[in-house]
Structure 1
Amino acid sequence: MHLAELNIGRLLAPTDDPQVAEFMENLDRINGLGKRMPGFVWMMEGSGEPGTGNTENSIDGDPQFVSNLTVWETPAQLQTFVFETLHARFMDRKAEWFERLVRMHFVMWWIEEGHRPTLDEALEKLALREEQGDSTEAFGWDWLRAKYL
């Protein structure tokens, strides 16, 4: 089994606005770092245009609502990327670029090796976690750490 994760956020401004420029300018750098990490399997991507990441994959037709959907071999490898690399410094600055969401914004779940989840599938997992809390079907870091790390 592999581990899929979805993280969503709503930018404070459109992707071409100076308010979020530093974030947008570093998407390729951070995504590239993730792709080179041990255990990285796959990432949902947009047009491939420099500095856009997968921002074309908006949620509910809102171009400021962006997502990150990736697949990893193990929880420990994802944890290393998220919390022990340059990614963590950008994550610590999310309030500079993203609205504070009142709804659930992050979910992980197990998938069969070789499966590439769609954004719709990932959003269903996010809704499941929001409605039912952590379970074997959809979970967050605390649940994962208690079971696997």
Structure 2
Amino acid sequence: MLVSTRLGAARQIADEAALALRPEHPEYFSAIPPPDPKALRSDVGGDLSQLFLLLALVCLFIGAVGIANTTLVSVMERTAEIELGRALGARGLHITVQFLAESTLLGLLGGLVGTSLGMVGVVVVCAVQKWTPVLATRAEFVAASSPCRNW
């Protein structure tokens, strides 16, 4: 049975409906009120935050594998350059530092470009939806904020 109530009265009606319908055996009925909208919104927000965190970790892993692959191909294609450096007196540590610096620069540049594109995407979506974009000042370093608010 579905009972329609006034706004805010669902909890009280659910508590009293079984007794009103069958006073001698209220245990025959089970009344389930709708969830509290604030609690439901909080639960959904928490679930979405966890989902986006998982998605960010997957993206981070994929980016790390891409950088490692690029570094491996770079090393394999530049063996003549590495051999020349070794012949001129470069140690293995120098070559390692060179490739690690290139990989770090590639990762930082990719992160900055990705964050910039993400922030531009947020502003475009907010402009199309006629929302006010709210970008945290730390978003350039950590792109993990709730950027749009529906006003």
Which of the five TM-score ranges fits, normalised by the shorter chain? under 0.3
Higher strand share: 1
Which one scores higher on RCO, CA 8 angstroms, separation ≥ 6? 1
Q: Which structure has the larger Rg?
A: 2
Scaled by the length of structure 1, what TM-score is found? 0.25
